[in-house]
Chain A
C-alpha cells in the first residue's frame, strides 16, 4: 500500500539523548516535510526538502536536523533532546509544488523526560 511509514510509533527518551525519527515514502514524491503538533499550536513546520539532496528550515528548526540522501527517506534527528521537544511528529510528502496537498504519515509520539 502506497504511503508514508514513520518509526517508531512512540518513544520515551531521556533528556540529552540523541534520537532519529524515521520517515519513508513509496509514492516517489519529490517534496517531504517534518511537522510537530502541539495542543493549541497546531502543526508547525520543522524542516522540509523540495527534492533529494536539498533541505530547508521551517518555522521551528532549532534542535533538529534532517537529511535527504534519496527520494524515499527523510529522517529527523534530535541531537540532544530537551523536554520542550515532547510532541507528536508527523512526516508528510507531496508532489512538486504541493498543489494536491500533503500525504501524512501516522506520526511519532515522543516524550522527553
Chain B
C-alpha cells in the first residue's frame, strides 16, 4: 500500500469552475502537508502548506486537512487554463527528519 495516495486523473475542469483534488495518507504521526504544482517538463513548485486541521486559503487555492480521517485536499477556485498541471501531494512525519513522501500526482486539465 502506497503511503500517499492520489487519483491520477486526468481531472477535467471547465474554466471558471472549482477543481477539487484529494489525497489520503497512511502515517498517523504525519504533521506537515504540502501541495506542489508541476507543469509538464518542469520541476515541482510549492503552492500550499498546511499543518493544522481545517482550511487554509491563499488566493484561489484552499487546502483542507483532516488528520482524523487522514486526508488532505486542495481546491482551486475560478480555474484557469494556466492551472493545467499535475498536482503532487506530499506528507512529512515528525520522525523522518522532514523527508517527504509524495503521491503520484493528479493531472488537472482546465478546458476553455
Contacts and interface: CB of A to CB of B under 8 A. Distances in A.
B103 A96 contact: no
A74 interface: no
A43 B98 contact: no
Interface in A79-113: 90, 94, 96-107
Contact of A48 (B90, B92, B99): B99
Given A90-B44, A104-B44, A97 B97 contact: yes
A42 B105 contact: yes
Contacts of A97: 97-98
Interface residues of A, number: 25
Chain A binding surface, main DSSP class: loop
Contacts, number: 56
Given A43-B102, A94-B98, A96-B98, A101 B90 contact: yes
Nearest to A107: B43
5 contacts: A42-B104, A101-B46, A101-B90, A101-B100, A106-B42
Given A33-B99, A99-B98, 15 more contacts: A31-B97, A42-B104, A43-B44, A43-B88, A58-B99, A94-B98, A96-B98, A98-B97, A98-B98, A98-B100, A99-B51, A101-B34, A101-B36, A101-B49, A102-B90
